[in-house]
A and B are shown apart, each in its own frame.
Chain A
Amino acid sequence: MELANTRYNNVLSQIKQEKTKRRRELLETLRKNKWALASLYIIIALCAMSLVSFIYTPYNPFQFNLAIARQPPSLSHPLGTDELGRDILSRIMYGGRYTLGISFISVTLGALIGVALGILAGYNGGKVDTVIMRIVDIMLAFPTILLAIALVAAVGQGVKSLILAISITTFPVYARLVRGTVLQIVNEDYITAAKLIGLSSYKIMVKHVLPNTMSVVIVQMSYYMGLSILLASALGFLGLGVPPPKPEWGTMIGGGRIYFFSAPHIVVIPGIFIFITSLAFNLLGDGLREALDPKLRGLLRRG
């Protein structure tokens, strides 16, 4: 018995080793995609920049000084100053917490609601499915930006309503996507096998259905990070997002807009940051899709 136990102990440690190895392989695949990797580094850098702003910015991002207003980039102000003479670099750093933070929270929130609804609808089918999908269809009947505008207009401006608006406009997409995936999964034999061994519906959803939808969700989340950043900054630009003087990037463009012809850098610089961030998430999404999509990976096993 003693001997048998050691034998199976070995098996168990092998299983653990194998699992860590697999996880590393997945990272390797991602790492091989140089664009995705570069995007990941850019995203990390942007996040780090936003975090640093909590303890340090070169200047006070709210301190205005009309004497030095609208100065182009220089040694003392590397990204120049804005219409009120505030240091743009400091404002970009400080504003990252809004642009990135709002997108991140609302994308996560939207994904949580959407995934839960999608799994409920797809797994249960029948009336639950009909009701949920009807709601989703109705929500999808609103153009994204419009629904967000309507919500912000109704609730009033601010960070919270922005998060609410973005998550409400995005959850139906997750719900529909996940439901589609779940409908495929529930017809697979391993779900039937799980029923046969007597697992409860809840356990089947959590252990067998959910993990198999995750790759789709993660890829979608990455794309939606890109989209949310555009959405949040567009609302900011229209004056419906994070209200000034808070330096959300879109709000910064909206504020500097009238001085655009004389001092284009006030508009151009925040725009570049928005563009790069959004682009990075889109590229990361592409990379994740390649690394996670079993179809693309399956191709390697042909013949």
Chain B
Amino acid sequence: MSLGKFIAKRAFQAFVTLIGALLVVFLIMRILPGDPARLIAGPEASWEDIENIRKMLGLDKPLYIQFIEYVKCVFKGDFGKSIKYGTPVINEILARLPYTVLLAVAAEAIAVALALPLGVYSALKPNSTLSRFISAISLFGASLPIFWLALIFIYIFSAKLKWLPSFGAGSWKHLILPSFTLALLLMGNLTRITRSSVMEAASMNHVTTAVAKGLDNGKVLRRHVLRVSMIPIVTIMGLQIGSLLGGAVITETVFAWPGIGSLLIDSIFYRDYPLAQGIILFIVLAFVIVNLAVDFIYGLIDPRVRSRTWS
């Protein structure tokens, strides 16, 4: 199968996933015990208020019609109007997007720059002291509550040392604390996956062939270990970027970073239901697209993927 066909097939699957995700978001909002109209109206609202809101949102119509309407709107790029801001939801999202992208890219870049070398090193020298230290760090990364860590960082670097601003966005200095906090969280997983997949690749038989050819260590490592170990690493990177593009909800909230994640939390507290729903959809979309991109990269890395028959 050609790479094009492979991508087409994956794109189709991604599309199906997206429709499914739409349905899930839709159902979460309508079927679960909570009543969005009631939530939006607030605890003191009268029954009439609630009915009005219900009509406004089209909640009085049968469920399947609601879903069709909803899908139609989404594909027109119309996510509805924000209750709080009174502007189209999509505008609000697009206004916040650059901040989220900036933070996501910065954090992932820091994480990759640190985690890949550390992971490769500890895979090749698994019994060294540094490797033990690295695995301890990545274990800590997986166990630390990030919101807490963020507060600690603010305490140390802003309150005590006064090196960096504690919240908001504006200068490059504002980016440092949130991106490093996030990177630390991402690093744990990334280091671990890198370590295990490099270790696995290094123990494969074709590496022995490469050594037996008389190839020097650098080439053996580059061509026969690292390239083969890339697939799981790229997968994790994709998952991470995908979920970061949806806004690092906690980090953005703690640092008051004006990205999509903090917008989501705001919208939930303001019961800005169309905005929240729009953001969630947007996030899923970003996630699915990034995963599609990852599939594309797989195809480039591994010729077998292109020809594998997918059921």
Contacts and interface: CB of A to CB of B under 8 A. Distances in A.
Are chains A and B touching directly in their complex (CB below 8 angstroms)? yes
Q: Is the interface of B mostly helix, strand, loop or mixed?
A: helix
B226 interface: no
Contacts of B152: 268, 271
A155 B250 contact: no
B147 interface: yes
A275 B32 contact: no
B163 interface: no
Contacts of B159: 261
A149 B266 CA distance: 12
Interface in B87-122: none
Interface stretch (A23-31, A75-83, A138-146, A213-221): A138-146
Interface stretch (A46-54, A202-210, A229-237): A229-237
Interface stretch (B19-27, B45-53, B214-222, B297-305): B19-27
Q: Is the interface of A mostly helix, strand, loop or mixed?
A: helix
B34 A156 contact: yes
B85 to A, nearest CB: 18
A239 B142 CA distance: 22
Interface stretch (B1-9, B59-67, B174-182, B280-288): B280-288
Contacts of B34: 154-156
A267 B147 CA distance: 10
B28 interface: yes
| Interface bin, chain B | 35 or more
A274 B145 contact: yes
Interface residues of A, number: 44
A153 B145 contact: no
Given A153-B268, A234-B147, A138 B253 contact: no
Contacts of A106: none
Contacts of A260: 151, 154-155
A282 B253 contact: no
A151 B32 contact: yes
B246 A150 contact: no
A149 B151 contact: no
B151 A137 contact: no
A155 B268 contact: no
Given A143-B283, A146-B283, A261-B159, A226 B268 contact: no
- Most chain B beta-carbon contacts within 10 A, residue among A141, A238, A257: A141
Interface in B110-156: 139-140, 142-148, 151-152, 154-155
List 4 A-B pairs, minimum CB-CB distance, nearest first.
A143-B243, A138-B20, A271-B148, A279-B143
Given A134-B16, A271-B145, A279-B140, 14 more contacts: A134-B17, A138-B20, A141-B288, A142-B283, A226-B143, A230-B146, A233-B147, A234-B146, A237-B148, A240-B268, A260-B151, A261-B155, A279-B139, A279-B143
